[in-house]
């Protein structure tokens, strides 16, 4: 059994990343079901996958309906790599073109006691499905122009008389 490892990032985020391990024969549709649960997204929204080359140029689109490259219930991760698409964009908000970028890293050893797909590691909170952008805590710190410890000074707190 071949297991692929992918790095997931959100282009607008300086913080968010995940490392996912998936079976090579897993369909994009099955992976979508996993991602909906992993990211705590509503399952009633339309999603799409874009297969891209190593430079990020769009090669194929995979959705519920065949747009010429196949439907996501028939296309596997192995198929995308065989087509020269090591980058897959998981578009979870089509109207706002918000997506998570999955970049193929390498193949890893199959672990029989592990369930796949597997979220091997990560950082940052899950994106909000219906927000206009990904909110990093880093953005707030930069907007404040101060270190987080300096935001609230103890001199600003009211004094309690007991």
Burial of 149 per CB tally in 10 Å (0-12, 13-18, 19+): exposed
What domains, with CATH codes, occur in the chain? 3-150 (3.10.290.30)
Contact 53, 35 (CB under 8 A): no
Which of the two residues, 123 and 157, has the higher pLDDT score?
A: 123
Range 110-116 average pLDDT: 95
In whole angstroms, give the CA distance from residue 162 to residue 159: 10
Q: Is 161 left (phi over 0), alpha (psi -120 to 50) or beta?
A: beta
Contact 127, 10 (CB under 8 A): yes
Task: Give residue-wise pLDDT tens across range 67-83.
Answer: 899 999 999 999 999 99
> What is the pLDDT confidence band of residue 154, given thresholds at 50, 70 and 90?
low
Task: Give residue-wise pLDDT tens across range 33-71.
Answer: 999 999 988 888 889 999 999 999 999 999 999 989 999
């Amino acid at each position: 059994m071949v297991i692929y490892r992918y790095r997931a990032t959100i282009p607008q985020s300086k913080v968010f990343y995940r490392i996912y391990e998936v079976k090579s024969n897993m369909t994009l549709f099955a992976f979508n079901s996993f991602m909906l649960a992993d990211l705590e997204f509503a399952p009633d929204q339309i999603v799409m996958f874009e297969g891209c080359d190593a430079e990020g140029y769009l090669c194929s689109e995979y959705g519920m309906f065949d747009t010429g490259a196949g439907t996501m219930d028939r296309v596997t991760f192995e198929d995308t790599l065989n087509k020269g698409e090591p980058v897959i964009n998981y578009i979870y908000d089509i109207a706002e073109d918000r997506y998570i970028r999955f970049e193929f890293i390498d193949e890893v050893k199959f672990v029989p006691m592990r369930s796949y797909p597997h979220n091997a590691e990560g950082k940052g909170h899950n994106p909000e499905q219906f927000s206009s952008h990904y909110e990093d805590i880093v953005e707030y710190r930069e907007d404040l122009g101060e270190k987080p410890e300096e935001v609230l000074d103890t001199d600003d707190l009211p004094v309690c008389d007991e």
